[in-house]
Amino acid sequence: MSETALSKRPTILVSNDDGITAKGIRTLVEIMSELGRVVVVAPDSPQSGMGHAITIHSPLKVRRSSIFEGIEAYEVSGTPADCVKLAKFHLFPDQTPDLVVSGINHGSNTSISVLYSGTMSAAIEGAIEGLPSIGYSLCNYSDEADFSHVRSHVKFIAQQVLEKGLAKFTALNVNFPAQRENQPIKGVRICRQARAKWQEKFDERTDPYGRKYLWLAGDFVNHDRGEDTDEWAIANNYTSVVPCSFDMTAHHLIGRINDEWDLEKAPLF
């Protein structure tokens, strides 16, 4: 933990992708307020599925919000990644957060969804800046989802990161199973990302003026039968925790390509 956190309550930056009015971020703010000084910088509208998009072709608008009583908060017209960038470099350039948390997302961000997730983009943006970061998601897409059964795990995982730290330039992708009647969550599992994907399809529809348009749909397909994955953990009523890095290099292929390709035959310009 930083010297700042050791001398006083840690500063925790909270963001999300469902927007500043979502029930999930309100729950996260309440829990983080038990651990430290909370500052919120979140989108002013839903930004789900934005991945790591940033705003470069239109102006960003930032407005102070009083939505959380006693909490310094700002709503931003941009993406979750924009929010963390603005917090770090514009709103609080001289105050380094001890922890960045994002969520709690209304919906799963397991497996390949981590690439599309606005929730995780905020956490990954924190990791890019070398800050301990966590993205939280609940496998329930309802606007009125029940978060009561995950509060203790949200707090526990954040406490562990504050006390023990994370490897620099990494973030945690935390997913919780939805509430199951008379079935408390069994525990926490450290997992790998399941090898699964969305099988996309595009529904062709017609607007009121008779014009055709497409709507993305599809089914989630999991071909991974491993019992060490986030998908297995959620299916078996565990909280899944996947350590993530933004380095997408396939390191194991570098040597193979160097050995097998005739790189000396590459054209010269």
Q: So what's the pLDDT on residue 182?
A: 83
Domains of the chain in sequence order: 3-195+225-265 (3.40.1210.10)
Non-local (6+) Cβ contacts of 75 within 8 A are: 20, 42, 43, 44, 62, 63, 65, 67
Residues 6 or more apart in contact with residue 142 via CB below 8 angstroms? 106
The amino acid occupying position 131 is L
* C-alpha to C-alpha distance for 170 and 230, rounded to whole angstroms: 17
List, for the chain, all residue ranges whose pLDDT scores fall below the cut of 50.
1-6
pLDDT of residue 49: 87
Q: What is the pLDDT of residues 166-179, one digit of tens each?
A: 999 999 999 999 99
Strands 99-106 and 11-15: parallel
State residue 151's pLDDT score.
Answer: 97
pTM exceeding the 0.85 threshold for the entire prediction: yes
The pLDDT assigned to 200 comes to 82
Please say whether the beta carbons of 24 and 106 come within 8 A: yes
**Residue closest to 49 by CA, chosen among 75, 17, 20, 77:** 17
DSSP conformation class of 76: E
DSSP assignment string, 16-62: -SS-TT-HHHHHHHHHHTTTSEEEEEEESS--TT-TT----SS---E
Residue 5: per-residue pLDDT: 42
pLDDT value of position 2: 45
246: CB partners within 8 A, 6+ apart = 124, 127, 128, 169
pLDDT value at position 8?
Answer: 80
Q: Are 230 and 240 in contact (CB under 8 A)?
A: yes
Whole-number Å distance between alpha carbons of 120 and 136: 8
- Residue 211 phi/psi, 5-degree rounding, is -90, 140
101 pairs with which residues across the strands? 14, 134
Q: Write down the pLDDT at residue 71.
A: 96
Question: What per-residue confidence (pLDDT) applies to 188?
Answer: 97
